Amino acid sequence: MDSPFEEVLLDLNQVASNVSQLVPPVVKLDTAVTDITNVLNDIDQVFADFNDVCIIISDLQVVCLALNAIPVVGEIADILESIGTVIDDVNSAISPLKTVTNDVDKVMKDVDSGLNTLKNTLVDISKGIPDATKTISILNALLEISGTLASVLAGSTASTRLEDVIAKYNTIKNEVSTDLKPIVVALDDITKVIDDFVDDINKAVSEAKTHISHASTSISTAKGHITPVQEAVKIVHDIMKPVIWLLDALKWVFDHTVEPLIKKAMEDTGLEKLIDGLETKLENALGIGPIIKDIQNTFSGNTFKQQGAVFSLFNDSSAASSTVTGWASTAKLLLNYNQDSSSEKNALVTKAVQELIDALVSGIVDINKITLAPPAPPSASKAPPAVSSTSTNTIPNGFTGTAASSQAVVTNLTKIKELATQVTEDDKT
């Protein structure tokens, strides 16, 4: 490759490309997850509405039991008992549907959680790519400079220190490459799954909405039939309450004391008219067992669980998890900052430049005080200092190499100063 970090740059550019293409589909999936969550809530409402009707019927049966000696009330009790089969049929259909919807709901909650984190990560990647690319470019230049200097200063203490710096730069390169490659694969996996996932969700939502609408209408109709009867029977009960104990009394007492009250109650409530055809009406309105089964069928055979696993952060091997954790590691290596601490974003580069300088000179060096001019030639009246074979080359004063190697060091130090200046300017912005 032309440069040590070329492969890393290619991977980084691929991640940037994948992210830009993935954002619209992710938003579409986010909308689809919201839609199916709303549908699941609507199904729960159907369950609740049906339960409300069942409670009304149950309460009505209790009152009818207390008034069972009144012929019309006994007729109501018989009607309520006869529709028990219909109610049982609906309940038997609701049970497996609840199991299915609970499973779908769990998947969608995991997907929603993973999507929210993934969306934040995609934003971070989009914002971080330019700085990451700049960091890699600087590290690449530093690595090339270090290689040149190590060659020029071969055999010196500075060369040994430079080898350590080069090893650190290569470690960063390898770690970044290791973190980036899974991100590229993960984003590709997400892209492959997302369209099918959205299509499956939208299909289920569309079909379920139709069935839910029918079920809700039927339950409302049933409630409309049974509620007036409940209210009327309650009125009858309130009228009869003082003489309920007489309902089982002798016929003469009943005819002269209770029957007039019953007649008045029937006239006041219109109860006989209310129960006309009530059994058929309730059976038709509450016979939503087939509709409930149709709702279940809209979710049967789906691959929501398999598709959703791609986005679940609870699964360490999921594509969303690989993207989030991979970018977190990459950002730590290249950007070295948290979202709330952007002032630290160039800390890695600043440190990398300083390590290269420290490898060449002892102590902490102010980059602005480095003298870049080649050392002045020794005066004729003073002989150059002798250099032992074990002496350490000092940069820039006292460099004892050839003119060519001296110029190489000066050239590379110039690059270092330019890079350091760039880092300083970046910090200001």
Chain-centroid distance of CA 151 in Å reads 50
Query: How many Å is the maximal CA-CA distance in the chain?
Result: 151
Assess if residue 355 is contained within a domain. Answer: yes
* Helices 84-152/6-66 angle, 10° precision: 160
Considering 14-18, 170-174, 344-348, 394-398, the range whose residues carry the highest mean pLDDT is: 14-18
Q: Which residues have a Cβ under 8 Å from the Cβ of 395 and sit 6 or more positions away?
A: 158, 360, 361, 409, 413
Assess if residue 182 is contained within a domain. Answer: yes
- Rounded to 5°, the CA angle 98-103-108 comes to 120
* Residue-range definition of the domain harbouring residue 137: 6-370+392-428
> What is the three-class DSSP state of 372?
coil
Mean pLDDT of 65-93: 84
36-40, 133-137, 388-392, 408-412: lowest mean pLDDT where?
Answer: 388-392
Average pLDDT of the residues of the chain? 78
Assess if residue 382 is contained within a domain. Answer: no
Give the count of alpha carbons within 13 A of 218, CB side only.
23
Write the pLDDT tens digit of every residue in 155-197. 667 777 888 888 888 888 889 888 998 999 999 999 999 999 9
Write the pLDDT tens digit of every residue in 246-305. 555 544 455 545 566 666 666 666 666 777 777 888 888 888 899 999 999 999 888 899
pTM above 0.75, yes or no: no
> What is the three-class DSSP state of 373?
coil
pLDDT of residue 185: 92
Mean pLDDT of 404-411: 56
Share of the chain above pLDDT 90, in %: 37
Mean pLDDT of 55-76: 82
Number of domains in the chain: 1
Write the pLDDT tens digit of every residue in 198-229. 999 999 999 999 999 999 999 999 999 999 88
Assess if residue 198 is contained within a domain. Answer: yes
Residue from 32, 43, 312, 40 nearest 200 by CA: 32
pLDDT of residue 273: 72
Write the pLDDT tens digit of every residue in 372-392. 333 344 444 444 333 333 333
Tokens encoding 136: 């890699």
Using CB atoms within 10 Å of the CB of residue 341, give its burial: 0 to 12 exposed, 13 to 18 middle, 19+ buried: exposed
Assess if residue 387 is contained within a domain. Answer: no
Assess if residue 376 is contained within a domain. Answer: no
- Rounded to 5°, the CA angle 14-18-22 comes to 175
Assess if residue 259 is contained within a domain. Answer: yes
Assess if residue 112 is contained within a domain. Answer: yes
